[in-house]
Amino acid sequence: MKRRSNLLIALFCAASSAILTISPLSAEQVQLKDGRFIQGTVVEHDDKGMLFEITETKGRVRLAWSQISDKDAERLRKVEKKQEIDLHIWLKGVRITLIDGSLVEGVGKEVDGAWEIINTDYPKGRVFKKSDLEDGAPIETDINVDAFAIFEPKQVIDDEIAANPPEDAKSWYRMALIARQYRLYDEALTYLANAEDFTPDEALTKSIAELRPEIETLKQQSGALKALDIAAELQRKKKYQDALVVLKNARETIDKTSDLIKVIDDMMVDIDFNLTLLVTQTFYAQLPKEITSFLKRDKSVNVANALSFVNSELTGLVVASVASRMSTADYLMSTEEATQRLRLRLGDDEAAVKLRSALREQRATFGRKGWYQVVGGPLPNAGNIPQANNPDRDGDGIPADDLQARNREDRRNDRRDEERANDAARRANEAARDAENRARSRENGSQPDANDPRMKVPANTPSLNDYWKRLSSGKRRAWLEASFVRLSNLVWRDESSSKYEDIVFK
């Protein structure tokens, strides 16, 4: 809010010296017996409880002392005894009634039959024309208006001190209470130190000694509560990493016995869970992109090299991409952390099951013709080669001997590629986790039935190389993605649902 000059305050300022027995206590963070925290202002209080105005809704609720945590109830009852000091700062202002019956208060002046009002709703001032006002309603001038309803609290306090400099310990103590009321905790501690410089009497010395730790605690809580609000907003925006940084920093600044520690810890657990989910989702989002980039780099790549890439390089590239995307200016995620988070959903413990239950089920498929033994399917890695055309019959006219020689050379090349592909796949399939999955699958009766017609090998099966050569780039990507899902130790596969060429995974 734009600061107004001291002169403007001085024109309207008239601080009241009246003694009040009931006045708003302060902007509080109060913990209830059920552990919840509420923020607002204590409007009034008695021996049974207090009337509390909630900051967010402006609604008021009557709270019995028995509903409030013992620590806060004791603290607030102590504050009750201090309220013989007036915590208001008044300005001379005006009150007008609008045509809809609502009231507007503030400092103001009349200009050609209209009224210009300044308050917290209209910090730059707003002009209300005669047509805006209720007919016949009086314009109340020269009334006491709460300065804090017109200007920012720090401005009001600074200008009050400038206009009426405190000259004794009690005056500085009053300013400390006012600053505390509006959550200006640093200023409140400064004013208490000023009060001590004036050598207060024994009673006031005791009051200062009681108030200081209370303000220090509120200062800690204020920062922590603000951090909780900031973290909640960051969580809503899925900026979980930055939310964790905010909460970690807040946790280090408050007393380890504070009830807010558990609130912060619980929120950190929830945010950390969501961050792990986001890491996993990003992992699967980046997987096809890295495969596509690989295929674009080498459009003529053979299947052996493609499978070798899947087994030896792809995991590192995807994890590095995830770590980079999860890192922010305040939070650097390493590839080790990304990998660790990806492993959290793989086990059978409660935490892993909870993570998997929050993830969307996905499906990868090799297609009926692409499920080769190299990735766990029934189709052989080298298929049957059709016979050469008879040169004595209609056909392509290639001599059988030449074609057979060419076929022998092709088969030798295919065997070399197949051996490399088999070797790459064998290394992945030897992983302990795949063995455990297959064992669990057999126990559940979910292993594909060898007698099922879908497991039967066709009489003429193209070799894996021939199959690969006929695939479009899009289908190559899908086949390699299915291969990764089938062979990777960073993927959780639902063995009870995965049958034949389809794989269900999370």
Q: Which tens digit of pLDDT belongs to each residue from 388-406?
A: 444 444 444 444 455 455 5
d(CA 128, CA 94): 12
Measuring CA to CA, which residue among 11, 4, 62 is closest to residue 38? 62
What value does the mean pLDDT of the chain take?
Answer: 82
Residue 103 has pLDDT above 80, yes or no: yes
What pLDDT is recorded for position 17?
Answer: 28
* Banded pLDDT at 52 (limits 50, 70, 90): confident
What pLDDT is recorded for position 313?
Answer: 95
d(CA 176, CA 208): 9
Give Cβ neighbours of residue 444 (< 8 Å, ≥ 6 apart).
495, 496
What pLDDT is recorded for position 414?
Answer: 60
Tell me: the pLDDT tens digits for 289-305?
999 999 999 889 999 99
Structure-model confidence comparison of residues 97 and 53, the more confident one: 97
Structure-model confidence comparison of residues 14 and 452, the more confident one: 452
Please give the share of the chain, as a percent, with pLDDT higher than 70: 79
C-alpha separations of 247 from 125, 151, 184, 231, 260 in Å: 39, 32, 22, 7, 11
Task: Point out the least confidently predicted range of 6-20, 86-100, 178-192, 247-261.
Answer: 6-20
Q: Report the length, in residues, of the chain.
A: 506
d(CA 15, CA 86): 10
* Banded pLDDT at 413 (limits 50, 70, 90): low
Structure-model confidence comparison of residues 409 and 114, the more confident one: 114
What pLDDT is recorded for position 191?
Answer: 97
* Banded pLDDT at 85 (limits 50, 70, 90): confident
Tell me: the pLDDT tens digits for 312-330?
999 999 999 999 999 999 9
Place of tokens 């050609």: 112
Measuring CA to CA, which residue among 198, 207, 184, 206 is closest to residue 83? 207
Answer yes or no: are the C-beta atoms of 425 and 375 closer than 8 Å. yes
Residue 192 has pLDDT above 70, yes or no: yes
Residue 139 has pLDDT above 60, yes or no: yes
Task: Point out the least confidently predicted range of 84-93, 116-125, 430-439, 464-473.
Answer: 430-439
Residue 348 has pLDDT above 70, yes or no: yes
Could you tell me which residues are beta bridge partners of residue 63? 50
One-letter identity of residue 116: E
d(CA 478, CA 367): 10
Q: Where are the domains of the chain?
A: 6-164, 289-505
Residue 66 has pLDDT above 80, yes or no: yes
- The mean per-residue pLDDT over the stretch 431-441 comes to 49
Residue 16 has pLDDT above 50, yes or no: no
Q: Which long-range contacts (CB under 8 A, 24 or more apart) does 15-18 make?
A: 15/89, 15/90, 15/160, 15/163, 15/164, 16/86, 16/88, 16/90, 16/144, 17/86, 18/86
Answer yes or no: are the C-beta atoms of 210 and 78 closer than 8 Å. yes
Residue 27 has pLDDT above 70, yes or no: no
Structure-model confidence comparison of residues 449 and 336, the more confident one: 336
User: For the whole model, what pTM was predicted?
Assistant: 0.61
What pLDDT is recorded for position 455?
Answer: 76
Tell me: the pLDDT tens digits for 477-489?
999 999 999 999 9
Please name the residue ranges forming H helices in 314-445: 314-326, 335-343, 350-357, 400-429, 432-443
What pLDDT is recorded for position 404?
Answer: 53
Structure-model confidence comparison of residues 255 and 354, the more confident one: 354
- Residue 386 backbone dihedrals phi, psi, to 5 degrees: -60, 150
Measuring CA to CA, which residue among 380, 386, 385 is closest to residue 457? 380
d(CA 502, CA 481): 12
What pLDDT is recorded for position 186?
Answer: 93
Residue 10 has pLDDT above 50, yes or no: no
One-letter identity of residue 125: G
d(CA 458, CA 463): 12
What pLDDT is recorded for position 457?
Answer: 80
Residue 2 has pLDDT above 50, yes or no: no
Distance of CA 391 to the CA centre of its chain: 72
Answer yes or no: are the C-beta atoms of 30 and 36 closer than 8 Å. no
- The mean per-residue pLDDT over the stretch 364-368 comes to 92
SS3 assignment, position 32: strand
SS3 assignment, position 108: strand
